[in-house]
Homo-oligomer: A and B are copies of this chain.
Amino acid sequence: MMIKNITNVRGIQCWGAHTGVKSLRRDLAIIYSDVPASAAAVFTQNQVVAAPVTVSKKHIKDGKAQAIVINSGNANAATGEQGMEGAEAMAQTLADELKIDKEMVLVSSTGVIGEPFPTEEIIKGIKENVSKLSTNSNAGSFVANAILTTDTFAKEGFVEFELDGYEVNLGGIAKGSGMIHPNMATMLAFIVTDLAIDPKLLQKMVKKAVNKTFNMITVDGDTSTNDMVVVLANGKANNKELKSNKDVGFKKFEEQLEEMMTHLAQQIVSDGEGASKYIEYEMVNAKSEHIARTLIRAISTSSLVKTAMFGRDPNWGRIISAAGNAGVPFNYENIVLYLGSEEEILKVLNKGKPEKYDRNYMKKLLRESHIKIKIDMNEGKAKAKGWGTDLTTDYVLFNSVYTT
């Protein structure tokens, strides 16, 4: 059976290898486009920024990139000058090996914070593995696995679609388990496509899509020092370059990109170890998208809502109270609230008045591992979705393990 992944995007070669930073699993990934690509990225909002984020921000400024090198096992964060030299050396080494400009290389790291960066092993690994870059789908799997830390499965997506008569390929990988050892649980996503698109337009599109997808998942409510979403578009599909949001095909690609990010984001939530439930939040008829997203984030990060879901408790007072803490205006007497499983939701609150429902049946629905919470604000037309987990005793145990 052939598996399609990022290697099915024209011009993309990759490899994932083991350098020894992690004891057994692959810990080095290289993604390479054989022609320069339009590049767009969104980086962590954390005030403490890892060295590779600083380097990548600098290198992507011109909207162009051709290769990405990622190591796992060490985050290269809180590593000072030694770490910055390591991140620069990663870019320089890969550039030398590929005979491209150093500025065409993006760098990414994930793993433990505050440990000296193992520059030597990683440089050696890059030199040894560039010759192995391949378009074989196994190479794509190696890369998807090499960027993992505490993740329990590799997160991948691939889709091909027609755009204005041209066949376009879009593939992506992501990591992030979030729940256990979250210092090592940076969220990373690398997406490649052979579409031709202007880098400025791509950047706008990526930022918007990240806000609706990766920024709407929550496991801990924390962002790491290393978070990074990168999209490379190398133009090998030969379509007329998209330059404006009025161009034919813009809307189609925007939808496909958002769908890819949603897919990868949902996989990250699914891998929340220590979680017993996957919770989908849907808000409709809010005053604005900003309000809808802010409310969903407040509800989905509330420890009280999350423990209630762990306990299968239809405790809607906690949902309303968490929304009230979000710092955005709404009138609670307009809210209609539904709760249940992926298949069926029951109305529990109707414009300020508790709704009578079958409590035994609700109990049955909340036993499911996929929970759905739907909130109708009745105050406008905006909507948003979000995805999160419950808060379990396992989460606390995993995260309290004495690691030093």
The interface of chain A, by Cβ under 8 A from chain B, is 45-49, 77-78, 80, 112-114, 182-183, 220-225, 302-304, 307-308, 310-318, 320-330, 332-333, 352-354, 359, 363, 391-393, 395-397, 399-404
Contacts and interface: CB of A to CB of B under 8 A. Distances in A.
A404 B313 contact: yes
Contacts of A317: 77-78, 112-114, 183
7 contacts: A48-B324, A49-B324, A112-B317, A307-B395, A313-B401, A313-B403, A313-B404
A174 B165 CA distance: 70
B399 A325 contact: no
A308 B113 CA distance: 15
Nearest to A82: B353
A308 to B, nearest CB: 7
A332 B47 contact: yes
A137 B114 CA distance: 56
A352 B48 CA distance: 11
Given A318-B183, A396-B307, A325 B402 contact: no
A354 B79 CA distance: 9
Given A330-B47, A332-B47, A321 B225 contact: yes
A395 B333 CA distance: 31
B114 A47 contact: no
A113 to B, nearest CB: 4
A113 B349 CA distance: 13
